[in-house]
Structures are given as structure tokens and as C-alpha cells.
Structure 1
Amino acid sequence: MEDERSVVELMRSMGLADEDVARVSRLWGKSAARNDGRTHLLLGHLLDTAAVAGVMWDWYVSAAFRRRLDEVSGGRGRVWFMWVCGIHDCGKACPAFQAMDAAEAAPVLAAGLSLGRLPGGRQKRWRHDVAGAVLLMPRLVAEWGGEEAAGWVWPLVAGHHGAFPSIAALRPPRGAQGEGAAWEEVQRGVVDVFTRAVGFEDLADVRPVQSLRKAEQLALSGLIVMADWIASDSSQFPGLADADQISFAGARHRAEAAWERLRLRGGWRDLPLPEDPLAPLTHRLGVQPRASQRELVERAWSMPSPGLLVVEAPMGEGKTKAALAAAEVLAARFGLDGVFVAMPTQATSDPMYEQVLRWVRTFDPELEPQVALLHGRRRFNAWWRAIWDGNPRPDDDGCGDGDHHRAAGMADDDFGAIDEDADYDMAPAQPATERAVDPATDGPAYWFLGDKRGLLTAFAVGTVDHLLHAATRTKHVMLRFAGLAGKVVVVDEVHAADVYMRQFLVEALRWLGQAGTPVVLLSATLPPAQRQRFVDAYLSGALGTADVRKPVPAPAGYPCVTVAFGVNGRAVTETSAEAVKSWRESVPVRLGWLPDTDPGGARVAAAVRDATVGGGVVLVVVNQVDRAQAIYRDLRDGGFDGALHLLHARLCAAHRAVRTAECLHLMGPEAGEERPERMVVIATQLAEQSFDVDADVLITDLAPTDLLLQRIGRLHRHSGTRRPTAHQAPKVLVTGVAQGPDGAPQFLPASKHIYGEWSLLRAVALVSEAAGTFAAADAGKGEAAGWSIPDDVPGLVARAYGDTGLCPAGWHEAGAWERCQAKERQRENNAEQYLLCRRREWAFTTLEGLHYAGSRAASEEQLDAVVRDGDPSVEVVVIRRASGGYRAVDGTWLGVHGEVDDDEATDRLLGGLVRLPPTLTDAAQTELTPLSGWADRPWLRYRRALVLDEGQSRLLGANRVSYDDVLGLVVKREAR
């Protein structure tokens, strides 16, 4: 068979001159110096990559994308996919690349190819990715009959190292690309023999019959990078320095063996349609469908094409389970291969990960290792650790202490090895771990743990940042987008994105709409204007039009489901035609005021004591860590008689995880008889969403109305919970606000800084309608009135963010609105410079120039800074100085220089991770460094150590910083 012939034999059969055969056979692709001591010839790497692409087609690429590539290629999708992946490195057939390694260049020179005089300096280096585009483009234009097809294919080659250049960049320095007949014949030979080897007659035969849409091109580019990185793993693809040993059949055998050893695979692989329309709920998830859940699944069945579903339903309604059921339907109907669930925080990602694990297991237990948890503290999740370490699973509740789950071999999770491509400042091509893999045993694919690869797993749960990263003009964005494009994307608590983050969410929806990726958005408190904007963004992508305005019909009630999709070139939006009944009756919630703007919160502590006189569980949610600590101190030092818990973002990772699990255990749906008679949880915004606890009384700092309603969602949340007689009706006390001298509200400075004045003023106005004025003299008079939850939720949110004035004239609402708008416009402008595609570029049909003036962000922290507009902050490891060395925050001995001997000690050390407040960022970056003993530990070598003296504190900038095991990080301004 032709594919079994060596490339040398193939070249001769194609009529290449002997000297050209010899020259093509000497071109190197991977140098011995950076390829485990073995040279790998260029044709070998091109065929290896094509062969990997073939295996990806068979076992990884979604059915939907396979269909699109079949359409584009005239029914030859598999071989066309192999060709476009393998041709990526053809630009290495030029003097600029071949001269990079003197030892490898010697045989090239000996074959009669001149390398000439090349420009010096890194900045003038001619990159082989761009060289490939220059090499191919004139031939594609000539042999494909014009620029249309060539115009979208060449950027795939030029961008395979993570950034798409503009056409102006395709101007090689003199001599870098190769001049003269010899180089021309060699470059033509490389392309022609590779093209023939993978199965085409010639380059003209490769011509696509139609174009991919731009978002589909981006997804394809990511798959090209994936194939390249796998084929660049020298441990799986040893170098071949003899062209007589290189054939496509050999490359295929190598690729199949590597795929099996690396345990790579896709997800559902042509998921069958459920026989019963509601089986994804009843059989798969074991729930008796509520009306709102049934509505969502039925909508997923009825959509004629992939689209957007926006689910608005009360807290505790079961939205996420319904979304998973809808995802199964959408995937089966439209040929998707997996699911990504985006959560607002790391803390909310962990329980969702465990839920998705159980769900995926019902399809096939072997899919369990294909579920990724994507956030920086995943190593503290007992389920993730057990799966990726190959240890016994925790109990089904996922709440094990995790002490026995070791991380052997996992230290390189976020840091990859480097190959040739480091010369171009590109991402590593090697897997991120050196763990030996036994192909005879089932287990996870450690390759996916490498940098930028997490979304490529079939199923993933992580923070919403990972979705937003895929909408940024940053390097290797194509890998992130490729990981989304073959999945159903679910975004929980979508209202939590602020105006800055929302720019990236809208951009992501536009690209996903164009890629034909179904998206499900979930919220209990979504302002109508945001719903409309999300719909318009998705439809603009689906229809390929920059600005679509398709008014969403007013929902008939609450809960509701909004559907948007494009069909036959037109936009369609629908909402629930009839009111969907919530699973529980609406309950009146009494609201009262507790005027207080003292950061110390003494009045709040006193109110807690009053509320728990006869027992009860009280949740206190405040807007500032210092205030939470002060209230806790007041209660603790005052001898509060009951369980007392403090939960905030300045707790180290280990303490925060334990406390969150304990609160969920004592106040969650399964608490039962273990629910304490008297307990208080003092928390910051961590308790605002996806925190499934049930409080008898809520005391909360004022927040914007939608967030206030989210906090109320933790109140009387579970049916059947036993409560003291005094707390049979849910009650909320709103604090953090008081009457100013002019009669207008005064807010805590922290609240005003976080949320802005306008949204707080309107929240005061709406609460006042139910609880009376917030003036101290009238505090509590409005407790008999209240809100009916959940019936009042959509109306309150709509009014809070509407354009009708709510506040008395003396509150100066108009001025606050103008300031709010000005700030939001500025934040939108700040975000626009990092968006994946500028508005004026949306009509462009190719990826050419996509990365013009893009962000250089590379690390996860840098990417987080791109998609979040808050003040920059730094994560550090709390270390205690001890006699003769150091100890971890839990007392584990570290050694004289902070050394750790094993992964268990590393785990305990990293349990001391804590994020500093932004006010300490500059000082931390200047004064804090890793301990010298961490240099050889990949998990630690880039971590800053916050070393506390024997008095358990230290000076950091102008602040005294200490860590208390109960209070967490305590920051005090030093007196001057």
C-alpha cells in the first residue's frame, strides 16, 4: 500500500530529482539537543502530527465538527483534517529554521542547501509558523483557484504557535525564507510528498469546497495545536533521523500507540437520543421532575438548531440538574461530545464537580477520569485527588478529609517541559507530568493537566474565568476555544459577572453562537436588560451579523426559560408561553432595618444575641473581611453560647475548605438531627450564591437588590427543617446603612467601593417599601411587611435595574446614576482592548490579524487579571518561622530552608495558601519571594512565602500582618 512506502520511495515515485530527494530527506524538524538526544526529521514530524489528527478524528473530535469538516472538504473530512494539522510545520523548510542548530544544519549544508547570511537578534528572527504561511499562500492561491479558500487556511498555519499574525507580518527578512531554485524545489517537495502521503493526489486536490466560519476556524486551530503538541512529545514519538524509516503507516502506528499510552479519549462519542424525553431527569439524575425542570428539558428537545437557553428560576429550584439533563439532550441531538459547567467561584466549583462526576458515571464509569476540575486549588478536592492519583474514591458525599490522597507525580500540573518551540516563546509541547503510564490499567489522561489544556477534557467544571479566557485576545486562545466548541456550555449564576466581566461573557457567547455550540445560562436574579444582551450576542454569532436586536418576549411568569436560535438565516426568540409553577409556594419574608455603619459591627453582634435567645441558626453576611472578623471577635469574647463559625476569603485554603464543608454539613439539606440548636455563621460574599445552607434568620449588609435576594435564598431554603418557634417565619435584618445628616442613606465605605452608590440607593428604596424607613428611630417598624419569595424576585430585580426613579429627591439618585454610567462605560472600554475580536473586526471572515495588539498574558493569574477588573492581588503561602527552620501553617516541619520531602508535606504546606488584600499587592511583590528550599518543587517554586516571625506576625509594607487559625489573615495599619 502507498502509505507503507517510505517517504524516500514516495518522493522517487513522484518524480523528484535525486538531489531534491536527498535535500528534503535531510531537513530536520526536532533537534537532538531538545528531543531526548534523537534528531527527528521534518517529514517525520509532519506525518506524526497528521497521524495523531487521524486518531483524534476517530476518538476525540465531536460528531458535529466532523460533519462540518466533511461539508467543507466535500466528504473527505478525515483526510482533510489530517492534512491541515500535519502541514502546520512546513515553514521549518527554510534557512532561518534549519540554521538554528549548527549540528542539525551540517547535513543540510552537506546536501547542497545554502543557509546564507541570516539577520541576527531574537527580534529579527524569522519564525517558522509565519514562514509556513508565506511558503503555502502563493501555491494555495494558484492551485486552489483564488484567494478565498487560501485566505482562511493560511492563518491556521501561521497561528499554530498561539497567535494569528496580520498579512503585513508575512514579509521575511532577506534570505530567511530561502532563495533560489534549490530551496524552491525543496519547499515544494516537502508540501507535495506530505500531501500525497496522507492521501491526496496533489495540493489542488486538497482545495476545500466551502469555508468554515471564523469561530469554527478558531476551534480547528486549537485542534491543530493539540495534535502538534501530542506529536511533539519525544517520549511517545522518538526521533527518526533516517528518511527511509519514515512512512505514513509507521506514523499511524506510532500515533495509535501513543494515544493508548497517554489514555487520551473524547467524551460521549455519538451519544444516542434518550428513548423517553424526560429520562435524562428521571433515570439519569433520579429526580421527580419539577415543572421548571421539565420546561427546560422540553425546550432542549424542541430547538431546531443549537441555541441559547436562559433559565431564570428561584434559588433551590434545581436549575443545575435540569441543565445537565438538557445538556444530554442537546449533545445527543446536535453531536456534541461533552459539557463544561462554569461556576462563579472556586468554592462553588467543588460541589458541582462532584455532582458532574456522579452524573457522568451513569453514562459510562470509564468516563469518570475524563472529568476535569479547573481551578488553582483543585488539589485540595478529595474527589479530584483520588481520581488523578489512582486512589480509592471518597465516600459519595465527597466530604472526606483527603489526608490519605497523595499527589505523587502530580507536581508538574501547571508547569510543562519545553522543546524547540521555546525559542519562539511558545507553550510547551511536552505533557505536564513524567508519571509512568501503564496502558493496561484504566485511569486519567495526565496530558490534559498541562498548561492551557484543561478545557480539552471531555467534561470539565471550573470557574467562569475559563470561559472568559476563551474570549480574550491572548496567546493560545484557540486551545481554550477548541475545548468549548465541541461541548454544551452551562454557566451557573450568570448574573454574578460584573460589567467588566460581562464584556468577555458577551464576546464568548458571540463566538459560541457562530460555532454552533449550545449554551445554557442559569440565574435566579437576572435583570431583563442582561437577558436581552446575552440573547443578542448569541444570535449575532449564530447569524454572522455584528449587531442583532431581537426583542425577547416578556416571560409569562417565574420560573421561565428563554430560547434563542438562528434558523434559515433568521433569529428566533421564545419564552415560556404559560406561567411555570415553582416547586414550592411563595413565602412572605419579613424585612427589618438594623441601622449601622460602624465597621466594628457591635450592633450586629448584639442583634445576633437577641435573635438566638431561644435558639436558632443565624447567617450573617457582611461586605468586608475586617467587619466579619470584628463581629466574630465580639461574639466570641462576649461568651456567645452556641456554635460559632467564621467564613471569608482571607482564610488559608485548608481552613476555608474544612469550614465550608462543616457549614454545609450542619446547615445543608442533609443536616437532619445534626443541625445545632444555636449556631451563627459570619461570612462575607462567599455565602451569597451556590452555598446550599438553610438559616432561620439572615442579617446582611446592604447590597444591590439582586445580590440581596441571593442572600435571602439561604433563608428557610429546605423543607422539613426543624426550627425554634420564634423562627417559623423567615426574617431578614438589613444593616450596613444608616441615615445621614441630610436624610439620605449613608453606607459602609467598603460597600460603596464594591457596589457603587446608585445600586445601593435603589436597594434601600425597595427594602424601605417593605420595611419602612431605614432611620434609626423607625428601625424594625416594617417587620410585619416584606417580600414574597420567590414570586417577587423578577419584579424586584427588574425595578432595581430599570430606568424609572425609585428614590426621594433628596437622595440625589440622578447624580449617582450618571457616576455609575460613567464608571461602567470606562470599564467597558477597559475590557474592549482585550476582547477576542473588536467590533469593527467582527465582519472579518478569517483569523488573519486576530492577535494584533493582543495581551501578552500567559499565566492563569495574568489571564485572571485580564478578565477581572478588580485591583490586582497576590496569593501567598503562610509560613511560620521556627527555631532552626520553618513550619507550615499546620505545624508541619519544613527544614532549614523550607524544604519539603514528599508530596504529602507539600499538600500540607499549600494548605496555607491565602490571597492577600489588594492593598498589600505592591509590598508583597517587592518583599516576598519563595523559600530557597522550594526551588526543586514545581508546585512551590513560584509561590511567594509570607514568613511570620515567632510572634506570628510580620511587617509588610506599612501593615502588620498576622495569621490566626480562627480569624484568618489579620491586617493592621502600623502607627507612624
Structure 2
Amino acid sequence: MGIPRELRVIWGKSKERAGGRLNLLLAHMLDTSAVAELLWDRFLSPATRDTLDRLAGGAGRGRRLFSWLCGVHDVGKATPAHQRLWPEGAALVQAAGLTWRESLVGAAAKRSRWRHDKAGGLILKEALETAGWRPERVDWVWPLIAGHHGVFPSLGGLREPRQARGEMRGKGAWPQTQRAVLDVFTRELGFSDVLDVEPESSPTRAFQLNLSGLIVMADWIASDERHFPGQGQEADLSLAAARKRAENAWQELGLRGGWGRLPVPGPEAFQDRFGYAPRAAQTMVAEAAHALASPGILVVEAPMGEGKTEAALMAAEILSARFGADGVFVGMPTQATSDPMFSRVRKWLRAVDPVLATQVALLHGKRSFNSEWKELLEGSGADPDGRFESVDDLGIDDHLYGIETAGCGLVERQAPAEWFLGGKRGLLSPFVVGTVDQLLYAATRTRHVMLRAAGLAGKVVVLDEVHACDVYMSQFLLEALRWLGQARVPVVLLSATLPPKQREQLVSAYLAGAASREEYVVEVSAPTGYPCVTGACLDKDGAPRFHLGSAPSWREEDLLVTVDTLAEALPQRNATREERTRLRSAADSAVVDLLDRELAGGGAALVIRNTVDRAQSLYLALQERFSASETRVLHARFTTADRAESAEEVLELLSPGGGRSESERLVVVATQVAEQSFDIDADLLITDLAPIDLLLQRLGRIHRHLATPRPQGLRQPRVYVTGFCPRRDVEPSFLYASEKIYGRHLLLRTAALLPSGGHQWSVPGNVPDLVKRVYDQDPELLPLSWREAGSAAAREQEENDLRRSDTAREFLLTRHGEHEKPTLAGLHYGGASSGDKEEQLQAAVRDGDESIEVVLVIRHGEGQPYRTLHGRTLSVNGDVAPELLDDVLGSTVRLPSSKGLSEAARDLTPLPAWYGHPWLRRARALVLDEDRRARLGDAQLCYDERLGLKEEVA
């Protein structure tokens, strides 16, 4: 093609960022378009391709539109605002007659962040208007270009700073050059002119966000200098040449999509996938997936051990086949519950297609310590933690942009592509298992949120234990469901049971998104029976359609669980430290005595404490009566390596085939980490009081499997509830920590259901009614003497919920009243709402003080070498030999979530030798003395291998 002289000097990437040779702007735009073509052919879901075809005006036309949208992203680099940034390139441009007044451009650049992204949005907007595009088409396209660096400006944000007087955008020959870039690029893609590109319709705002993420993805891949080196003045600036570079890069990176178009599974598929015939509840869920008239939401409620996970995975396969999804995201409440789910998802996919099982990404901060994850990646020669970090072409931005390590060069890579393992990219993997936080992050107004949205689009989203989302986290969950509904992403939500109000909120949020409505109040009928499923979608006319189903439990009879209480004397708020210590010791002794009696003939008991301190204290008390081999403790304040090892051991000991003799004694003391999706089977449960739904969830950890042998005295399930103190003629008192975590209102209403002298709950038969009674506002549940306190607690809870909801809205992706906006313009108006670091995001979506992780190392004195927790020597500067890296990283621990500790921890830095290390350069080191103690702020911390990290009395 004939290329004007100016286009042979307008540069897109400097020599320093393009393998030692300047990369012309047109070359980078064509490279990005070529990558986009491969994304279309080998990565995009059938549903995404179908939507793009409809936008472009017919089958087969979406591919070229998508390629053009991806490639045109950097048109704003054809401006003095960008061309001045690299002196060598600037000299070439000015020699070609494209000049600017540096005094004005430089001064304006210092005062503003008006760069090539905003310049591109402005240039493209005006060019499309001039070409004759309809205004509504122009309005949704320009934000994709203006926002490709992670933030969507408003229309007003496109304006060039006044003090630049037009010099940042360019005067003289600049407008003609900018139009030439656009025209030459457009014709090279096969369009006759810019008007020929115009889409036939406008997509939903959610699809625009997903499309924006795909544009960023194509840009980042095409910005890798190893695969797309500089194409200078003599280069063949053609789409054909770009396609060759893109093909080589794709093969080298090992990128791929999911399963493509699936045939709809038949009734035999469940047996093929899981090795047994489906239970009635699992058939019920599959039927609901078949019954949805369009992409929708399924809420599955079933007791623990009913097989909800298998039912959800089968539903995901059916929904994928019916609605063109290309993968699955499975979100779990915690990192600990994500690990076993990772194994289950891979096993399921292996039955679908063995290759797919190699494409599952585990997405949480401790994945490098999951043995199955490490084996998967190390077997492919991959970096087991995927640490890819870089900056943009001139170091202007701090976002992840390139890749440091080379790909494996496999065409059919036997692990998720390393490219997917970098920051913000994990959800783009074909199949993902991670914490629910990953979904919640996609509902925050943060930089590059479009990458997370694009990762969820084209998948089926499965969320387990949704009842675990409190009122604060629920704001992000509801916001995410709105976007997923509008993006036509099928969603499957799992829970033991849900309060009717929460079920209605979840379904209504999804339907509001599907209808693109700010307010969308629908009456969601409660299903009758249990287990049950609620399905909802919009029909072709936009009207809501529901599917309600129920099924008998797989158990022939309900489990009759004896529920009793173990009263605990609690300190007054103004009690002395000595009094608190005395009462804690008495409470621990009471539990130890009870365990000694109940386990006299052997058996396994699970004790769940609401705080780490209580778990540690009880574990120490147990040592006086039980041997070390008979006790285990599990909580979140162990190092990564110790916690992973402990969790794996507990899962093994309390699994159905764990091989533990029924005459042996075992006590596992845990915090809430054992509450959710933790497949263990104990004989006896002792638990601190928690709201009824969580109490029932804990109850699901005992007598989970009928075939498990049990001692004679423990063959009937029994639970003891402690952590509160009944009082005569007045409401009970509760642990202060429990009130802080759960609120007094729900604790009071749950306590009202507890018998004073042993009572049986029928599980699962009584479960829905128990939850409904607690979460309904009927004051008659409480005894008369409690009702005044109950009313006060209810008012306090309502005020607290409102406050927390308002706080959450500060971080939500969409402000209230803006859900019906047609485009992405101004989505980030006022800036991003929180930082990009994992710990900052987690604090934002979980309403807590920023919980900071540190790496523990030991030093015996100034000038002495540092050592790992296991005593292996580093150096006086902390140099880490390759064989010691796992040991150092395994010593990572999360500090208690307190404002004082977090503030003090922010001052911690890496060890001197870590600053240049690819994995440790941002790790905060907490140096312990020879007794494994350290002072941090006002706290005295100590790490004990038996107990984990504990805060001692100074």
C-alpha cells in the first residue's frame, strides 16, 4: 500500500521498548489488529462472536470490526503529546515537517495527564462524526479508545488542556497526518473508508466493558517486544506481515481459549463426568439449566453433602452449550476452600476432555503453595507464580504491560499460558478457580477493571457459599450480578440455604442488569421443598420468567442432630486483664473436659472458634489432656507453607477414606476456615455461637458421609454451642468478638432457637424454617424478657447495615442512578476508587482494615546473616539462593487486621538483596529475633510453629 512519508516516521514505540529498533505507529496498530484476528479465531467465546456479528450487521462481519476496534486504539499517538516523549523519534518527526512549540506542550504535560489515550478518543470521535457515523454509534466507540489505559474519562475529559493552545494535539499538518493514519489503517483492514466501518447497532454497556478488556488484551500481547520487535522506516507495513508476527507470538505464548462450541450434554453425561448416577437434587438442577429461555441465573439451595458442586458443574456445561460460553469461573469464599475445588474442577474437565484439565488456573495469592498447581506448571517448565511485570512503552504507566519471561514454545501447552498468570489477567484464562474476591474486584471502580470483566464474559460463573457474603460484600456481589446479567453471562449460585430476602435481592440484581434498568423490583416466589432451585431470566420480550424446582434429599431419612449448649462465663467490658485470662482459662477447661468425656471411646471432634486467639488458647489447653498426635489447629495466621500443610493433613485425616481408626481420638480446633466448602467428616462439633445459617454450615462438617465408621457413643450427631452466656430473665451475653463480627441482632435471634437442655434439629428438613425464623423480623421469636434488647439490636443492625452499604458504594463500579447509562463515558469520573494491589482491593471489598502480608525471617543480631524460619542461611543482605526460594516465600503470613498493625507494617521494606528479585522485590520482611519475636508498632508478635502468629502481651 502507498504510505505517506509522515507515517514512516510517526513512531508507536521507542527503540528501548521495541527490541532496539523503533516501532512505527502503523506497525503496532496492524500488529494489534492481527492479534485481534487470532483472538477471534482461537479465544473469543461463541457468544461474544455472535454479538459482534450482530453489531457489525451480519454473520461473518464481526471479525473485521473487532480487528479494527483493537488496532485503532493507539491513533492518539499521532500527536505532539506523544511524539515529543522520545527525543530520537521526536527529531525524526520534526525533520518531516511535523512540529510543535515545546514550551507550550511541555508546560501543559506537567499540569495534566492528557496523553495519547484521551487524544485518541478525541481524534476518533471527530473523525467518525466527520465521516457520517450516527451519533449513538460514535458515543459508544470513542470511550473504548480513550479508556484503553484502564480509566474511562468523561466527554469533558477528552478536551486538550487550554494552556496547550492546541499544541499537544497538533496544528499545521498534524490533523491531515492523523486522518492519514486512520485512513491507511482502515483500508489495510479491508474497509473502503471509515464510514464503511460503522456498526449496525449499539451494544449494552456491559458488552462495551468486555470489548474494552479484549482491546487491552490485544494491545498488551502486541506490545511484547520479543514477539513484535520494531518495524522501522523500511519495514513492510502491511497486515500480512503483522499476521505472521502475530501467529508466531501466539504459538510461542501458548495462548488458547476454552472448549468452543459444545454439544448439549445428554442425560448420560452426569454419570460419564462423575462416575455415579445423579441424585434427585442434581437432576433438578440440570433440568433448571435446560429450562432457562435465555442466559439467566440459577440459585441452588441444598444441604451440605448433597452434591451441589457436581450439580453446578453439570449445569455450567449445559448452559455453556446452550448459550455459547467458552469456559467457567468457580468462585469460593476463601483461599483454603479454593484449593480442593481446583482439584474437583480439573477432575470434571478431564472427563469432558483431558486437554481441558490442563487449562485450569488457580487464582489466589497462595496458589504457588498448592502442590497440584505447582506440579501442573512445573511440568510445563512454567513460572509457578506467573510474575510478569513491566511498564508501558515509555515507563509512563505503572500497569502490567509486557512479559519478562519467555514462553514455553508449545502449540498445545499443557498448562494455562503464562501470559494469563500476570496481574489483572487471571480471569482471562479459559477455566478459573479462585476466591469470590476475584468476582467482586470486577465490580469495583478500579484501573483496568475491563480486563476482569472481559475474563468473566463468555464464561459461566459459579459461586459457592454465597450466604457467606455479608451486607458489605453483598453490595459488590449485587453490582457484579447486574453487569453479568447485562452481559448475558449465565450464573449459578450455591448455598446451604438463603434467607428469602437475600435470594430475592440476588435474582433481582441479575434481572435488573439483564433489563438494563436502575430499579427492577420483581417478586421472586420462594421455592417449596428443600433441596430447591430458583431459575430466572428474561424472555424475548424482556419479561421475567422463573423456574422453581425442588427434590427430595438423597438421604433416606433426615439426620437428627442433637443440639445442646455449653454456657460460658464472659467478662464484662471493663474487666481487668487478669479477670479475662481467668475466664478464658475456665472456658477452655470446660471444652477440654467435655471433649475428654465425649471422646472416651475414640472419635473425631471439630471445635470452631470465632477468633484466632480463642483457637490458639484452646489448643494450648488441649495439650495438657491430649497428646500432640491427637490434636490439630487450623487458622489463617499460619505461614503459607504451614497452613497449606495443616489444611491438607486435616482434609486427609477427616476424609471418608482417611484410614483413621474409630477408636483413635482426634480434635481439630479451627476458625471459620473450616466452615465453608471444607469436605471433612467429624463425629462431634463444638462451636462458638454464630448466625443460624453459618451455624448450620458448621453443622455440615459432622456425619457428612453415612459410611464413615464411628464409635458407639458418637453414632448420633451432636453439636454443642458455646461462646455465650445465658442469663435468667434477661437476654444472654455474647463474646465481644462475636458481636463485632456478626452483630448482636442475629446472635440474639439465633440464641433464641437454642434449647436449654438438648433438642433435636432435623437436617435438612428443618433448615429452611430455621433460617427463615432468624432472618424474619418477627419479634415473637424472642422471649418477652429479650424483646427490648432485641428491638435495640435490630435498630443498631439496620443503622450499621445502611452505613456499611453507603461505605461500599464509594468503591462500586457504577454509582447509584447510573445503571441505565448507554456508554462507558465517565465510568471512572473522579478517578479510581481504590488501589490496584491485592491487599488494597481485598480491604475494599471485605470492609476491613487493610490486612498486610509479611515474610518472616530470623536474625540473631546486627551484622548477622538472615535465616529462614527453618534455619537455612541467607546472607547479611538477605540473598536468596534458588533452592531456598520456596522456603522464604512459604514463610509469608498475613498480619491481624487491625489499623495499628497495618499502619506499622506499611513501613516494613524488603531485605536489601530482595529489591532486584523478581518475586521478592515488593515483599515486606518482618525480622524476628532468635526467640521468633518482633516488635511492630505497639504490638509484640511471636511466631510459634504449633500455634502460628500470635500477639503477646507487651
TM-score of the aligned structures, taking structure 2 as reference length: 0.94
Counterpart of 2:39, as a letter, is M
**For the structure 1 residues 244 and 648, does the alpha-carbon distance in structure 2 shift closer, same or farther, using more than 3 Å as the test?**
closer
Q: CA deviation at 1:272?
A: 2.0
**For the structure 1 residues 592 and 642, does the alpha-carbon distance in structure 2 shift closer, same or farther, using more than 3 Å as the test?**
farther
Q: CA deviation at 1:432?
A: 5.1
Corresponding residue of 2:827: 850
Q: CA deviation at 1:808?
A: 2.4
Contact 1:666 1:676 (C-alpha < 8 Å) held by counterparts: no
Partner Cα distance (2:413, 2:619) in 1: 50
SS of structure 1 residue aligned to 2:668: strand
Q: CA deviation at 1:73?
A: 0.5
Corresponding residue of 1:786: 760
Partner Cα distance (1:226, 1:605) in 2: 56
Corresponding residue of 1:539: 511
Partner Cα distance (1:641, 1:224) in 2: 56
Corresponding residue of 1:14: none
SS of structure 1 residue aligned to 2:828: coil
1:539-563 per-position Cα deviation (integer Å, ceiling 9, x unaligned):
0111111111221222120000100
Counterpart of 1:798, as a letter, is K
> Aligned ranges for residues 573-652 of structure 1 at < 5 Å?
573-577=545-549, 579-596=551-568, 597=570, 598-600=583-585, 601-640=588-627, 643-652=630-639
Counterpart of 1:567, as a letter, is D
> Aligned ranges for residues 147-296 of structure 1 at < 5 Å?
147-173=135-161, 174-242=165-233, 244-274=235-265, 276=266, 278-296=267-285
Q: CA deviation at 1:674?
A: 5.1
Corresponding residue of 1:402: none
Corresponding residue of 1:142: 130
Contact 2:866 2:878 (C-alpha < 8 Å) held by counterparts: yes
1:850-870 per-position Cα deviation (integer Å, ceiling 9, x unaligned):
001231411111111221102
Partner Cα distance (1:343, 1:245) in 2: 49
**For the structure 1 residues 675 and 240, does the alpha-carbon distance in structure 2 shift closer, same or farther, using more than 3 Å as the test?**
farther
Q: CA deviation at 1:709?
A: 0.4
Partner Cα distance (1:905, 1:826) in 2: 47
One of 319, 323, 331 as aligned partner of 2:320: 331
Contact 2:382 2:408 (C-alpha < 8 Å) held by counterparts: no
Partner Cα distance (1:61, 1:175) in 2: 40
One of 912, 916, 919 as aligned partner of 2:895: 916
Contact 2:901 2:939 (C-alpha < 8 Å) held by counterparts: no
Contact 1:648 1:684 (C-alpha < 8 Å) held by counterparts: yes
Corresponding residue of 1:670: 657
One of 4, 23, 28 as aligned partner of 1:40: 23
Contact 1:550 1:571 (C-alpha < 8 Å) held by counterparts: no
One of 936, 940, 951 as aligned partner of 1:960: 940
> Aligned ranges for residues 713-792 of structure 1 at < 5 Å?
713-740=700-727, 743-767=730-754, 771-772=755-756, 782-783=757-758, 785-792=759-766
For the pair 1:99 / 2:80, whether they are aligned, the reply is: no
Partner Cα distance (1:569, 1:428) in 2: 43
Q: CA deviation at 1:408?
A: 7.0
Counterpart of 2:460, as a letter, is V
Q: CA deviation at 1:727?
A: 0.9
Counterpart of 1:931, as a letter, is L
Q: CA deviation at 1:515?
A: 0.5
For the pair 1:803 / 2:777, whether they are aligned, the reply is: yes
Corresponding residue of 1:77: 62
For the pair 1:680 / 2:680, whether they are aligned, the reply is: no
One of 500, 512, 517 as aligned partner of 2:484: 512
Q: CA deviation at 1:344?
A: 0.3
Corresponding residue of 1:59: 42
For the pair 1:708 / 2:695, whether they are aligned, the reply is: yes
Partner Cα distance (1:719, 1:80) in 2: 58
SS of structure 2 residue aligned to 1:422: coil
For the pair 1:823 / 2:823, whether they are aligned, the reply is: no
SS of structure 1 residue aligned to 2:328: strand
Contact 1:543 1:569 (C-alpha < 8 Å) held by counterparts: no
Counterpart of 2:488, as a letter, is G
Residue range with higher mean Cα deviation, 575-584 or 474-483? 575-584
Corresponding residue of 2:389: 416
RMSD of aligned alpha carbons: 1.8
For the pair 1:108 / 2:93, whether they are aligned, the reply is: yes
Contact 1:281 1:288 (C-alpha < 8 Å) held by counterparts: yes
Q: CA deviation at 1:753?
A: 1.0
Contact 1:514 1:544 (C-alpha < 8 Å) held by counterparts: yes
1:640-695 per-position Cα deviation (integer Å, ceiling 9, x unaligned):
58611111111111111111111111111222455662111111111111111111
Residue range with higher mean Cα deviation, 954-963 or 188-197? 954-963
SS of structure 2 residue aligned to 1:365: coil
In structure 2, list runs of 5 or more residues that go unmatched: 571-582
Partner Cα distance (2:345, 2:53) in 1: 32
Q: CA deviation at 1:23?
A: 0.9
**For the structure 1 residues 550 and 186, does the alpha-carbon distance in structure 2 shift closer, same or farther, using more than 3 Å as the test?**
same
Partner Cα distance (1:899, 1:669) in 2: 44
Partner Cα distance (1:216, 1:34) in 2: 32
Contact 1:551 1:573 (C-alpha < 8 Å) held by counterparts: no
Partner Cα distance (1:252, 1:521) in 2: 41
Partner Cα distance (1:916, 1:263) in 2: 38
1:923-954 per-position Cα deviation (integer Å, ceiling 9, x unaligned):
54255322112222222221122211112212
Partner Cα distance (1:676, 1:570) in 2: 61
Contact 2:77 2:83 (C-alpha < 8 Å) held by counterparts: yes
> Aligned ranges for residues 408-487 of structure 1 at < 5 Å?
409-410=383-384, 413-420=386-393, 422-423=395-396, 425-431=397-403, 433-434=405-406, 437=409, 442-487=414-459
Corresponding residue of 1:401: none
In structure 1, list runs of 5 or more residues that go unmatched: 1-8, 12-20, 392-406, 773-781
1:300-359 per-position Cα deviation (integer Å, ceiling 9, x unaligned):
112111100000000011101111111111111111100000000000001111111122
Counterpart of 2:217, as a letter, is M
Q: CA deviation at 1:566?
A: 0.6
For the pair 1:345 / 2:334, whether they are aligned, the reply is: yes
Partner Cα distance (1:938, 1:641) in 2: 39
Partner Cα distance (2:21, 2:412) in 1: 28
Partner Cα distance (1:283, 1:438) in 2: 30
Partner Cα distance (2:167, 2:701) in 1: 65
Counterpart of 1:170, as a letter, is L
1:677-729 per-position Cα deviation (integer Å, ceiling 9, x unaligned):
21111111111111111111111100011110001001111111111111111
> Aligned ranges for residues 300-379 of structure 1 at < 5 Å?
300-379=289-368
1:774-800 per-position Cα deviation (integer Å, ceiling 9, x unaligned):
xxxxxxxx22x2211111111111111
**For the structure 1 residues 579 and 284, does the alpha-carbon distance in structure 2 shift closer, same or farther, using more than 3 Å as the test?**
closer
Counterpart of 2:638, as a letter, is L
**For the structure 1 residues 800 and 208, does the alpha-carbon distance in structure 2 shift closer, same or farther, using more than 3 Å as the test?**
same
One of 835, 854, 866 as aligned partner of 2:812: 835
Contact 2:360 2:415 (C-alpha < 8 Å) held by counterparts: no
Residue range with higher mean Cα deviation, 238-247 or 455-464? 238-247
Contact 1:262 1:445 (C-alpha < 8 Å) held by counterparts: yes
Corresponding residue of 2:574: none
Count the aligned residue pairs: 924
Corresponding residue of 2:577: none
Corresponding residue of 1:657: 644
**For the structure 1 residues 612 and 581, does the alpha-carbon distance in structure 2 shift closer, same or farther, using more than 3 Å as the test?**
closer
Contact 1:41 1:243 (C-alpha < 8 Å) held by counterparts: no
Contact 2:511 2:537 (C-alpha < 8 Å) held by counterparts: yes
TM-score of the aligned structures, taking structure 1 as reference length: 0.92
Residue range with higher mean Cα deviation, 536-545 or 580-589? 580-589
